[in-house]
Amino acid sequence: MKQISAIIEQLDTRLAGKWPAAAGIRQFSYSLQKQPDTGLLEWLAAQPCYPKFYWQQRDGNEEAAVCGDAYSFGHIAQAQAFIRQFPDVPDLHIWGLNAFNGTADDASAANALFLPRIELCRQGNTWWLRCTLFSPYSLQDEARRTRLFLRSLVASRTLPPLTSHVLQHQHLPAESQWKALVERALSGIEQHQFDKVVLARKTTLTLSQPLNACAFLAASRSVNHHCYHFMLAFTAQQAFLGSSPERLFLRDNTELYTEALAGTVANHPDDQQAQALGDWLLSDGKNQRENLLVVDDICQRLQGGAHSLDVTPAEVLRLRKVQHLRRNIHGELTGPDDAGCLQRLQPTAAVAGLPRQAARKFIAEFEPFDREWYAGSAGYLSAEQSEFTVALRSAMVKGHHLELYAGAGIVAGSDAAQEWLEIENKAAGLRTLLEEHYTPAVQAG
């Protein structure tokens, strides 16, 4: 990427000048004249700095690789306040993750949002590099630190092949525990404690060698289409990543786009059989009820914050391993409030349940692991536009271990064995990248 190297040299020259020994913010943007020689994920993988974040919008039109930590935020409200503090710097973007419980006051520090020093971005066929300096104390010191950071950046290189293979796996809960957990949830539904609760499973894979997170995400991106692809690498050995089909929300000024993605059946490589499964999904009462519960909850939660809500008819979203029911929801916000949108929408009924607080209480009490980033959200916020995906079909890379997450919505009439097959199919979207001959059971309609 010679043109990127040339831009870095220009930046270094500009930063070598005199800077005030006072608080401040500066931003520099450069257009790339042509498409880089290698992809953004390959460039990001080569960089030795952390944190680093990768994002690709599910239509493939937007992509970003960002790294370096100019400033970090423990809560989206802090990030939003920061952006509003600098209206004369319109391109401030803050990237990262919101934890499943990250909207609660007592869990604010669980979030990982940061203002990067360097952003390499693409929209359509337009490419640019953006550098941001910020210091609450001294821009002079920040310019010096940024010059050292720029000199640490290296040329892109090809991602290594996936050579890790699975030595063993452990489900939490195990299948017998899952059955008992579902029965407990159904009992709660029967006793009118809640209408729906989404139960999750964590599968820990022990690997033959440490997994390269960027290479793993690249493999997922190549086969899991119609998904958001994201990764936050905390260190060289630890990263959270995923290929999620679900939008939490897109805010374009005051226009809001969200969706209800709930109701699942297996996919099939044969188009006719996949169509038959999809048709069954559209007509199945249990899955339709599950989806409409999510729609109703979203619309209720947006009351007071958005108006003119429009809900589209149900459609089938076909993914590599599963198919989902989806209804799109569009509305006009009373104001451009990303923190408010997150508070209202995360976690949705599709990942927690209904009523939300009762379902979250059940999850906290009986689910045998902490979800952390799983079923939270990943994305960015800025003054004009913000977008977050629900962190589904996700995994935590921890050296020789890979933790896979998947969940299923439990409503009246749910069957524990069928729900186990559903999470097997969902987890297979990532697991099969390492286990070529692993085939989850087919979930029939």
Read off the pLDDT of residues 212-224 as tens digits, 9 standing for 90 and up: 999 999 999 999 9
The pLDDT assigned to 436 comes to 64
- The predicted-structure confidence for 405-415, as pLDDT tens digits, reads as follows 999 989 888 99
Average pLDDT, the chain: 93
Angle between helices 338-345 and 76-85 (to 10 degrees): 160
Within the chain, all domains assigned CATH 3.60.120.10 are found at: 166-431
pLDDT at 196 over 70: yes
CB 69 within 8 A of CB 51: yes
Q: What is the mean pLDDT of residues 4-24?
A: 94
In the block, which residue shows the tokens 């499964």?
277
The pLDDT assigned to 228 comes to 98
Catalytic residue list: 196, 246
For 291-328, b where at least 16 C-beta lie within 10 A, e where not — what string?
A: bbbbbebbbebbeebbeebebeebebbbbbbbbbbbbb
Q: What is the mean pLDDT of residues 30-38?
A: 85
Confidence of residue 1 (pLDDT cuts 50, 70, 90): low
**Residues in binding site for Mg(2+):** 290, 422
- The predicted-structure confidence for 353-401, as pLDDT tens digits, reads as follows 999 999 999 999 999 999 999 999 999 999 999 999 999 999 999 999 9
Superfamily classification of domain 166-431: Anthranilate synthase (3.60.120.10)
3-class state of residue 380 by DSSP: strand
pLDDT at 106 over 80: no
Identify any residues that bridge with 443 across adjacent strands, giving them in sequence order. Answer: none
The pLDDT assigned to 36 comes to 80
CB 191 within 8 A of CB 183: no
Task: Supply the pTM of this predicted model.
Answer: 0.93
pLDDT at 316 over 70: yes
pLDDT at 253 over 50: yes
Q: What is the mean pLDDT of residues 323-351?
A: 95
**Residues in binding site:** 290, 422
